[in-house]
Amino acid sequence: MKSPRINNKRKRVISIVLPDLSIGGAERQSVELANDFVKKGFSVELVLMRRAGELLELVDPSVSFYILNTDKIRKSIIPLAVYLRKKHPSIILATWWPLTSAAVFSWIISGKVGNLYLVEVNPLSVSTKKESGIPFYYLSTLLSITHRFASGIIAISKGVKKDLCRAALLSDKKVKVIYDPAAKGIQNEIFSNNLNQLWGDSFRIRILAVGLLTKQKDFETLIAAFSIIHATLHAKLVIIGDGPLRNKLLNLIDQLDLHHCVDLPGYDIDLNKWYHSADLFVLSSRWEGFGNVIVEALEHGLPVVSTDCPSGPAEILENGRYGNLVAVGDKDALAASIIDAVNNPIDSDTLKQRASDFSVDKISNEYIEYITS
């Protein structure tokens, strides 16, 4: 696909609204899009509730910032409306509910400055219930009030779209599916061959997982599954990430006597060296909006085992064509699938080709075509 052209006589301004740039799929997606929009001639501004987060250092210097200086989403409604009236951006991309609903109120208060597009990154009927206990009727009522006003809505997977249309009572035509720009291009990078520095020298199989240490990622099931097969495979498991369940997971590792072969090294902004040196990637989530880490693994030609959770993994892996899918929370099935993937890996070139379907350039072009049409 050729890169869409913009009218140089009137350089369009895209404002991307987020809470901050902490580690997360939505935040990383927004940074990748912002950087690529700039390369393609747009003026881009990141509008943040607070200037914070590890991903700040990845933002292109040409991208500007506007900080609302608010600590709660509901307190951001008026400051965001003031920003819109002051800056008059051509296009507003608000990402991550409930900020998307709040942005609608801001946009209406501002007099509907520019065109507002909402980007939903989770199957909300699942994530809101399990993370915050919000009743479905409350979620559905708010979504049905706010989202119908938007100029357009983007869902990052077909599963997210289906869930959103049901919850918000939206027409199928109101929501556009555009996958995440998760394949960033690694062909020119040089990786160290010193695997021992990362993994130690006494393991035959290296298994990698990446994600926040939260209930959503269900690393408890992954660790339990690994305890079944680690001796057979002579394997090591490394989980890259941090979060509120860190101590709970460390206790589980001790209880299962896995401290010698399971490691939680914390957050690492450079994941490529881990993907490059691993033998297998595992996603054990209870739910996902898309599953960026799966694409990142595929881009390195790394075999993947994933739970068949709502709603992205099965779409990325095409229902098992590009990786193994297992039931959520089933440690025995996960253990068996890990062994199968190790013994019967999919051709790495095939996996890399699949990852190219989610390249930053391709996905940003899809965004530009949708939000400028």
Domains of the chain, by residue range, sit at: 13-177, 195-357
Averaged in consecutive runs of 10 residues, what is the pLDDT profile of the chain (373 residues)? 47 93 92 97 97 96 98 97 97 97 98 98 88 86 97 98 97 97 77 74 94 97 98 97 97 97 94 94 97 97 97 97 98 98 97 98 98 93
pLDDT of residue 8: 45
Q: Do domains 13-177 and 195-357 have the same CATH topology?
A: yes
Predicted model pTM: 0.93
Name the 3-class secondary structure at 309.
Answer: coil
Per CATH, which fold does 195-357 belong to?
A: Rossmann fold (3.40.50)
pLDDT of residue 4: 52
Task: Please give the structure tokens belonging to residue 23.
Answer: 């580690």
Angle, vertex CA 164, rays to CA 158 and CA 169, nearest 5: 130
Query: What is the domain class of 13-177 according to CATH?
Result: alpha beta
User: What residue spans of the chain are helical by DSSP H?
Assistant: 25-39, 77-87, 99-109, 124-132, 136-146, 158-168, 195-199, 219-233, 246-255, 272-277, 292-299, 313-316, 331-343, 348-355, 360-371
pLDDT of residue 194: 67
How far is it, in rounded angstroms, from Cα 142 to Cα 207?
A: 42
pLDDT of residue 192: 60
Name the 3-class secondary structure at 266.
Answer: strand
β-bridge partners, 74: none
pLDDT of residue 58: 95
Task: Please give the structure tokens belonging to residue 263.
Answer: 């490691």
Q: Do 324 and 337 touch, CB atoms closer than 8 A? A: yes
Residue 30 is classified by DSSP as: H
Q: Do 282 and 325 touch, CB atoms closer than 8 A? A: no
